[in-house]
Amino acid sequence: MATETVILDCARLHSSGLAAIDRIARSRLEARRCGCELALRNPSRELLELICFLGLDRCLGVEVKRQPEQREQPGRVEEKGELADPPTFEVQHLQRPG
């Protein structure tokens, strides 16, 4: 069964806060009740980040493409040879318990 898609233009939303999230969630619910899917058009980056932060990305059918993390190059280990044995300490000056 093919479902129709209702497109919600997020550029027309006045804010990217919780009120916008509420409006999107209610629109999604109403669309599903009518047998349709809801698609977001022109959502702002802030709106997408807030949806993901709240954990509603799956519920609202939002997929955010994240930038890969910048990682530092791992430090290199320089091998110049074997380590010398640690110095042994003189233990003759210690007295035996007894």
Show me where the domains of the chain are located. Answer: 5-53
- Residue 98 DSSP symbol: -
Cβ-in-10-Å burial (0-12, 13-18, 19+) of 96 comes to: exposed
Q: Does residue 27 have a pLDDT over 80? A: yes
Question: Per-residue confidence at 17, pLDDT binned at 50, 70, 90?
Answer: confident
Q: Does residue 97 have a pLDDT over 70? A: no
For 51-55, which contacts have Cβ atoms below 8 Å and span 24 or more sequence positions? 51/21, 51/24, 54/21
Q: How many residues belong to the chain? A: 98
Q: Is this structure's pTM higher than 0.75? A: no
Which residues in 1-98 belong to E strands, given as ranges? 5-9, 37-41
Q: Tell me what pLDDT residue 11 has.
A: 84
Q: Does residue 26 have a pLDDT over 90? A: yes
